[in-house]
Amino acid sequence: MDLIKQPWPWYVAGPLIGLVVPALLTMGNKTFGISSSLRHICAACLPANIPFFKYNWKKESWNLFFVAGIVLGGFIAAQLLNGNHAVNINPQTHTLLQQQGVENFDGLLPADIFSFEQLFTVRGLIFMVLGGFMVGFGTRYAGGCTSGHAIMGISNLQWPSLVATCCFMIGGFIMTWFILPYLLQL
């Protein structure tokens, strides 16, 4: 039991995640991706006459079970297998965030930024509402999420996935080094 309560090294977890791609392709001719599951949920639940949601979503219902397994696995890991360890972040990152005024590091996310109380502040609205919208819009605009492009698309040698993944990385660097310090001062 202690084996699954500890973080696994990158050289074990990475190849296991990478093996999902050929397993899905060989066992069921399926592609890996998470963002499309939201479209499947909307197509199943919205009776509206919206052309974007008019397709045979039942053919892709396996993806909904996959996502449900991710949510259930995350819940089990967080509630039963967490080992009550603090999240281990790089000391340099911790110092940089403290210099920007982020002090509360309990849990997975800093409560100074991501908490229910912060939602009703200007910073909270920018991080959670505007940021959430931008992630959702970007996912649809790019034709998939980071996991779909970086794991599935690149392994299938798809040029658009390589471009999208490079853009995700560049956007992350710009956000981290140029925009985040400004937003933390709000």
133-169 pLDDT per residue, tens: 998 888 888 888 888 888 888 888 899 999 999 999 9
CA distance 149 to 142: 9
C-alpha distance from residue 37 to each of 88, 89, 161 (Å): 31, 30, 18
User: For 35-69, how does the pLDDT look when each residue is reduced to its tens digit (9 = 90+)?
Assistant: 888 888 888 888 678 888 888 888 888 888 988 99
Contacts of 106 (CB under 8 A, 6+ apart): 86
